[in-house]
């Protein structure tokens, strides 16, 4: 699954000369937290968010750095801060150092980028032009669509083999856990060393295509038995 499969294609945008009040009204009315800034040709120039509107002179929330910070800040930095809090248009307050993805990017790439930069959304580009937005919510919708579209026609033997492979992927010691599948229902039997392993085994089974339910009958080994196992 790629970005173009889950992205939001109807995107509210603003122009560089769009006024601050109009931007704030757009964010409130559309119930969105940011809007891309594009030129007349659809080329993306930046993005303006709620955060860009928080520190404003009109509301008395503009930054007032301490005297020693004012001394170390360069004239350019002070000018930029003034523009951000007093400027009246999108071009004055937008973030132009833009992080974006192409439409063919994988969902893994999107998730990593969102996590790395601690952001909520990414503009999606095609040849430098904005064609959509992908957000954390879009990733969740992609997850739902993936799970809903899984085939349920897989036979029990194939399911059993897939569950065993997933258990190995989860580092569950296979010699202590047995898998029985009947009509798509997975029964897990045996014993593991911790509640975390028990939960991991259940999740591993749930992830397999064709599984309709998981009956977890796995027990937790007592400390005395665990120490014996590790001593072997």
Predicted pLDDT of residue 152: 47
More confident residue, 226 or 124: 124
Q: Average pLDDT in the 141-158 region?
A: 67
pLDDT tens-digit map of 166-208: 998 888 876 778 899 988 899 999 888 889 999 999 999 999 9
Residues 201 and 101 in one domain: no
Predicted pLDDT of residue 153: 45
Residues 141 and 104 in one domain: yes
Judge whether residue 165 has pLDDT over 80. yes
Residues 108 and 173 in one domain: no
Domain assignment of residue 151, yes or no: no
Could you write out the three-class secondary structure of the chain? CEHHHHCECCCCCECCCCEHHHHHHHHHHHCCCEEEEECCCCEEEEEEEHHHHCCCHHHCCCCCCCHHHHHHCCHHHHHHHHHHHHCCEHHHHCECCCCCEECCCEHHHHHHHHHHHCCCEEEEEECCEEEEEEEHHHHHHHHHHHHHCCCCCCCHHHHHHHHHHHHHHCCCCHHHEEEEEECCEEEEEEEECCHHHHHHHHHHHHCCCCCCEEEEEEEECCHHHHHHHHHC
**Final residue in a domain of this structure, among 98, 115, 146:** 146
Q: Average pLDDT in the 7-11 region?
A: 86
Cα separation, 39 vs 15, whole angstroms? 6
Q: Average pLDDT in the 100-121 region?
A: 90
Domain assignment of residue 166, yes or no: yes
Residues 133 and 188 in one domain: no
Judge whether residue 144 has pLDDT over 80. no
Residues 129 and 162 in one domain: no
Residues 118 and 9 in one domain: yes
Instruction: Please state the domain count of the chain.
Output: 2
Q: What value, to the nearest 5°, has the Cα angle with vertex 174 and ends 170 and 175? A: 155
CATH number at 50 reads: 3.10.580.10
Predicted pLDDT of residue 199: 93
* Paired tokens of 24: 């704030």
Predicted pLDDT of residue 64: 59
Residues 20 and 66 in one domain: yes
Judge whether residue 230 has pLDDT over 50. no
* Paired tokens of 103: 């439409």
With beta carbons less than 8 A apart as the criterion, state whether 156 and 172 touch: no
Predicted pLDDT of residue 89: 92
Predicted pLDDT of residue 145: 67
Residues 114 and 8 in one domain: yes
The residue segments making up the domain with residue 184 are 156-231
More confident residue, 121 or 81: 121
Cα separation, 172 vs 66, whole angstroms? 56
Predicted pLDDT of residue 68: 54
**Final residue in a domain of this structure, among 92, 123, 146:** 146
Residues 34 and 110 in one domain: yes
CATH number at 222 reads: 3.30.1340.30
**Which segment of 4-18, 153-167, 214-228 scores lowest on mean pLDDT?**
214-228
Predicted pLDDT of residue 10: 83
């Amino acid at each position: 699954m790629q970005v173009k499969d889950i992205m939001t294609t109807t995107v509210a945008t603003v122009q560089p000369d769009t006024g601050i009040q109009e931007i704030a009204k757009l964010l409130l009315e559309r119930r969105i937290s940011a809007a891309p800034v594009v030129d007349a040709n659809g080329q993306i120039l930046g993005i303006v968010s709620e955060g860009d509107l928080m520190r404003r002179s009109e509301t008395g929330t503009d930054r007032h750095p301490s005297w020693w910070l004012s001394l170390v800040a360069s004239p350019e930095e002070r000018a930029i801060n003034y523009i951000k809090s007093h400027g009246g248009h999108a071009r004055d307050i937008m973030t132009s150092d833009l992080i974006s993805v192409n439409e063919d990017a994988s969902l893994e790439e999107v998730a990593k980028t969102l996590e790395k930069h601690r952001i909520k959304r990414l503009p999606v580009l095609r040849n430098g032009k904005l064609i959509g937005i992908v957000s954390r919510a879009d990733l969740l919708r992609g997850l739902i669509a993936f799970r809903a579209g899984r085939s349920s026609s897989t036979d029990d033997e194939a399911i059993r083999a897939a569950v065993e492979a997933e258990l190995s992927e989860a580092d569950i010691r296979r010699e202590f856990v047995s898998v029985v599948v009947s009509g798509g229902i997975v029964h897990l039997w045996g014993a593991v060393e911790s509640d975390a392993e028990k939960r991991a085994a259940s999740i591993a089974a749930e992830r397999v295509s064709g599984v309709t339910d998981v009956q977890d009958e796995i027990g937790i080994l007592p400390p005395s038995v665990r120490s014996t196992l590790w001593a072997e």
